[in-house]
Structure 1
Amino acid sequence: MQVHLETTGALARRLRVQIPAERIDSAVAKRLKNIASRAKLPGFRPGKAPMKVIEAQYKDSARYEAINDLVRETYPEAVDKVQVQPAGYPQFEITGAEGDGFEYVASFEVYPVIVLDKLSGLQISKPAVEISESDIDKLVDNLRKARRIFKEADRPAANGDSVKVDFEGKLDGEAFAGGKGEDVEFEIGAGQFLPDLENGIVGHAVGETFTVDVAFPADYRAEALKGKTAQFTVTIKEVKEVQLPALDDAEFLAAHGLTPEQGAEALRAKARQALENERNKAVKARLKSQVLDQLLAAHPVEVPASLIEQELPRLREEAAARMNMGKIKADKAKELLPDQLFEATAKRRVALGLLIGEVIKTKNITLDSARVEQALAEMAADYEQPEQVQQFYRSRPDMMQGLRAVVLEDQVVDALAADAAISEVSQTLEQLLNPQAQA
């Protein structure tokens, strides 16, 4: 077998392989012998037809199949012979024949050569965040709001109340589609309806009928209403005010795994722990993002197109899952979520994967099993039955492999951060969890 490697681009390679006649003859003979042992031909018992008859009927197809088998069989041998590492599956082409031999070409990309020569110049900004009493107050208030109830109120409607109304909107005295509703319930201030309508209800009591001018925004979805002002006739049929559970309410405490004896202080302590956990996760994510961003910026990588192509379906599947699109056919998913939506992300993900792999080799990083167990425990702790979650993960090799990959990536980040210049920046919890708040 003769092998010749050609460089056709930065990462593109063309491997030309010539298979000698004797190897093909051997493969064809083996295939014909296999066919002969089971062939059913008129005038002969099964498996008893003479080889000449078998050859006359099956030699061409046997040769075609033998060549295909030889391409798959000899490709790894040829790659090993020229000492290259293909990235992705190759494209094969039968290019010619010499005597009874043949030649094929395998076109593929190779992995880029990566030189990690700028690992020591990373500059990391680490958020320094103290959990304040007001942070705890906000979380406790949110926990109470999550278990709120509404009771009828004998007073005019106020912001935050739940109301039941009938309404009918008219534009220049004419009713319009979608402008009428009966027994419609909503919370004032929750943004379910246009602000003018919600605000116009404030101050009116049950039984009142009144008119409110409602301005539609210029980008409103209904073309006929864009930028227009309509008049809505509204009748209030019910007003309910919100009631939050008391901090020492037994049912409220029980919902958070606490007893009345433990009381509100235990709830606040639990809230503090939850916020500290959230802070720690956010700080870790912020550091990881900076490390990986700077690793990629300092070491631009030529990314094999074949690896990007492999990444696109995974990103599309992840996006479809986030959008609750359910199981849809691959071609339909590609139509709804075309490749160009994910190309930049796919390129970044592949490039980082290559760089992280090189860091692992350069720094001799091995997976820390104790950290895997710790990560599994921390992840499961967010669920009501953590032990069952851990058992479920352990029963799924694919999920455990994903968890190990995350842990190994975290170890890479830690190794790089250990050589980085780190400066602390004071932030509030709100700024950490919602970066837009810094503006």
Structure 2
Amino acid sequence: MQISVEKAGNLQRRVTVQVPGEELHAQIEARLRELGKKAKVKGFRPGRVPPKVLRQMYGKSVQQEVVAQTVQASLAQAIEREALRPASNPVLDGEPSLPKGGDLEFTARIEVYPEVDTIDAAALHMKRPQAEVTDVDIDDMLETLRLQRQTWRPVEGKPQPGQQVTIEYTAQTDAGPVPEQGRQRLALVIGESGFDALEQAVSDLQAGEETEVELTFPADYGESGLAGATARVQLTLTGVLESHLPEIDTEFIRSFAVESGAIEDLRDEVRNNLERELKQASTSFMKAQLVERLLELHADLEVPEGMVRDEARNLARHFASSRGQDPQQADPGPFVDGALRRVKAGLLLAELARQNHIMIDGARVRESIETIADTYEQPREVVQMYYGDQRLLGAVENAVLEEQVVDWVLERAKVEHEPMSFKDVISAASAAGKGQ
């Protein structure tokens, strides 16, 4: 087998492979002989089919099969022999075929990972959050739990801040009515919806009253036909409701699987959950810092275009799905910059792991999966599901490996401890996550 590699760009390689025809013809004949042992051909006994008949019946399909397998195997050998690091699957130039009396020759285009200089972790400066869960944090979470179980009761009069209103409406845009038939229903809390113009439109109404106004809908409005649009809206205020919060009593406590019904046990459970959340947020915060440092140091790093295209497509589809739109019709264009950043960050973290021989810790993977599973009613089945689905398992393994990289860097970097509150760490981690 002959191999030649041509550089077609910084990260593009053209690999040409030539395999002697004799080798392939020998494989084809061997396959035909194997077929002849069990082939059922009318007029011939099993194992007695003449080679000429076998070639007429199966020769073309066997040759295609041998060529395809040879291409796959020889490409793998070429990649290993030339020490290439493919970033995606090779793309063949045309359909490889075996000419009569000739050799198999084909060319493949391969996009490779960039070469990254050794990253000196000791030269990195990092801040580690120094925070703990306080009684105030627990009190705040208990209040949040009460809000999650709040009930709404009808009241009379015009809506006041903190009250919930229910609305039915139709909107006329330049593109037509939304919805096309019937009326759309909406519920929002006065002072919390972020849609000030709509809140103002219903502020002087009582339940059952109607009005007509012109509204410009927010760009992120959930109804795709109205997002960012200006429309003439006919709306009816169908209800005004007031919030009622449950008391933290035995029944309330037991509803969170605290069988004792004791407030002390609920507070302990809340503390454990918040401490777990704090640990995860601290890791996310430090990972975001590490990513920023790496991106600053490698601002000119070129990354595989195919990876950026795939990531932009995935981001666009995820965004479209979250808005109830057809993900297959999503435009990846607006997501290219974010995809480039994500791909570059992922490559640099993976490079840190590769350069320093950081391997995935199976025990940490198991612990992470069990932590996820504990949030479900049937944790054992969830664990089995993760280990039975390579996509789910791979996502957890990647996350764990990145955590290991962060831990490894923190042991060597210049680390400054920064006192922070629980809420500050959570907010910082959330903001960092949106920037990734």
Give yes or no for contact 1:312–1:346 (8 Å, CA) kept in 2: yes
Q: Deviations over 1:205-252 (max 9, x none)?
A: x9xx9898x7644458879x959899x898x9x8664332233x3322
CA spacing shift, 1:346–1:227, aligned 2, 3 Å: closer
Q: Contact 2:365–2:396 at 8 Å: present in 1 too?
A: yes
What do the CA deviations read for 1:300-324 (whole angstroms, capped 9, x no partner)? 5432334445656665665566557
Amino acid at match of 1:246: E
Mapped pair 1:293 → 2:292 = yes
In terms of Rg, which structure is larger?
Answer: 1
C-alpha deviation, 1:414, in angstroms: 0.8
Whole-angstrom distance in 2 between the partners of 1:160 and 1:287: 37
Shift of 1:83: 4.0
Q: How many residues align?
A: 412
SS at match of 2:412: coil
Give the residue type in structure 2 aligned to 1:22: E
- The structure-2 alpha-carbon separation of the partners of 1:217 and 1:123, relative to structure 1 and needing over 3 Å to count, comes to farther
Distance of aligned partners of 1:99 and 1:126 in 2 relative to their CA distance in 1, 3 Å threshold: same
Q: Which residue of 2 aligns with 1:256?
A: 256
Tell me the equivalent position of 1:419.
412
In 1, the alpha carbon distance for the partners of 2:314 and 2:66 equals 35
Greater mean alpha carbon deviation, residues 337-346 or residues 285-294: 337-346
Does the CA contact (< 8 Å) of 2:67 and 2:98 recur in 1? no
Q: Match of 1:124?
A: 126
Tell me the residue number matched to 2:398: 405
Q: Which residue of 1 aligns with 2:174?
A: none
Deviation of residue 286 (structure 1)? 0.8
Q: Which residue of 1 aligns with 2:245?
A: 244
1:27-66 to structure 2, matched below 5 A, reads 27-34=27-34, 48=48, 50-52=50-52, 66=66
Taking a change above 3 Å as real, the CA distance of residues 337 and 99 of structure 1, as seen in their structure-2 partners, is: same
Aligned to 1:283: 282
Q: Aligned partners of 1:105, 1:377: CA distance in 2, in Å?
A: 46
* 1:343–1:47 CA distance, 2 compared to 1 (3 A): farther
Task: Name the structure 2 match of 1:18.
Answer: 18
Out of 340, 355, 359, the residue aligned to residue 362 of structure 1 is 355
What secondary structure sits across from 2:90 in the alignment? Answer: strand
Of 355-364 and 192-201, deviating more is: 192-201
TM-score normalised by the chain length of structure 1 = 0.71
- Seq. identity, %: 27
Distance 2:65 2:423 in 1: 66
CA distance 1:64–1:133, change in 2 (3 Å): closer
Q: CA deviation at 1:12?
A: 1.9
In structure 2, the residue corresponding to 1:194 is in which secondary structure? helix
Deviation at 1:116, TM superposition (A): 1.8
* Contact 2:295/2:344 (<8 A) preserved: yes
Query: Alignment partner for residue 141 of structure 1, among 128, 140, 143?
Result: 143
CA distance, structure 1, for counterparts of residue 377 and residue 60 of structure 2: 65
1:384–1:424 CA distance, 2 compared to 1 (3 A) = farther
Q: CA deviation at 1:413?
A: 0.8
Q: Alignment partner of 1:297: what SS?
A: helix
Could you tell me which amino acid in structure 2 is paired with residue 114 of structure 1? V
Residues in 2 aligned to 1:282 and 1:66: alpha-carbon distance in whole angstroms: 53
Q: Distance in 1 between matches of 2:232 and 2:56?
A: 84
What is the alpha-carbon root mean square deviation over aligned residues? Answer: 4.9
Aligned partner (choices 105, 108, 112) of residue 106 of structure 1? 108
**Over residues 136-194 of structure 1, what are the superposed CA-to-partner deviations in whole Å (9 max), with x where a residue is unaligned?**
4433322222223345668886444467899999xxxxxx999x99x998765564882
> How far apart are 1:287 and its partner, in Å?
0.8
Structure 2 residue runs of 5 or longer lacking an equivalent are 172-176, 219-224
Distance 1:92 1:185 in 2: 55
Aligned to 2:222: none
Contact 2:38–2:47 (8 Å) recurs in 1: yes
Q: How far did 1:412 drift? A: 0.8
Distance change in 2, residues 1:43/1:393 (3 Å): closer
Residues 50/308 of structure 1: CA separation in 2 closer, same or farther (3 Å cut): same
User: Which shifted more, 3-12 or 394-403?
Assistant: 394-403
Alignment of 1:293-312 (within 5 A): 293-299=292-298, 301-308=301-308
1:15 counterpart letter in structure 2? V
Counterpart-to-counterpart distance in 2, 1:437 and 1:83? 40
